[in-house]
A = this chain, B = another copy of it.
């Protein structure tokens, strides 16, 4: 057993966890690398050795959060009655997850600014491909119109994530959530062969 590699993996986890808290609470730009490494019981030396630079650290954090979101959405979608309801459930799951302040601040606000267009991230690509597969299946079924699957998946995901931002910053989020979900389902039904 390699004590060396396990310790390194532990330190990576510590740094990611600490960065996740710091980025969520203060935002990427305001978060100091000295502070967050100290909170993890390390120094910036470990950080630069493991992640290259501050961007690399954010990428690791975003990847972790994105993977959690993708896993949750997929499990929710699989639990639905059929593929169409699964698609709607996945969208709703994305909106719910994105209501978490941590997700909004890191993935929706700072992520695109620092890392560029989200659709180019490896993790987001997983989510998009999952949605795209479902849509392709539904088109073969004859449930959906023959729309471009990639474009359709991107539009649905984009609308869902944007909706979460809007709901969270509204005066009464609890009241806006059901209205928004209703509108989202209506929107998605535009792809249906028969409404």
Interface size range on A against B: 35 or more
> Is A120 an interface residue when CB atoms closer than 8 A count as contact?
yes
CA distance A158 to B183 in the complex (A): 13
Given A186-B191, A190-B186, check contact A155 B148 (CB 8 Å).
no
Taking a contact as CB atoms under 8 Å apart, the answer to whether A117 and B163 are in contact is: no
Which of A63-71, A73-81, A108-116 touches B? A108-116
Asked whether, in the complex, the Cβ of B119 is within 8 Å of the Cβ of A169, the reply is: yes
Which residue of the partner chain B has the closest CB to A110? B113
- What is the CB-to-nearest-CB distance from A145 to chain B, in angstroms, rounded to a whole number? 6
CB pair A191–B187 under 8 Å, yes or no, is yes
Copies of this protein, total: 2
Q: Which one of A165, A168, A176 has the greatest number of beta carbons of chain B within 10 Å? A: A165
- Which residues of chain B are within 8 angstroms of A195 by Cβ–Cβ distance? 190, 194-195
> Are A113 and B117 within 8 A (Cβ)?
no
- Asked if A180 lies at the interface with its beta carbon under 8 angstroms from chain B, I say yes
Q: Is A28 an interface residue (CB 8 A)?
A: yes
CA distance A159 to B156 in the complex (A): 7
Residues of chain B lying within 8 A (CB to CB) of residue A189: 190
Q: A195 CA to B116 CA in the complex, in Å?
A: 36
Is B165 a contact of A162 with CB atoms below 8 Å? no
How far apart sit A159 and B186, CA to CA, in the bound complex (Å)? 14
27 A-B interface contacts by CB (under 8 A): A109-B112, A109-B117, A110-B113, A112-B112, A113-B114, A119-B166, A145-B186, A147-B183, A148-B180, A148-B183, A151-B166, A151-B176, A151-B183, A152-B183, A152-B186, A152-B187, A154-B163, A154-B166, A155-B180, A155-B184, A157-B162, A158-B166, A159-B162, A186-B190, A187-B190, A187-B191, A190-B192
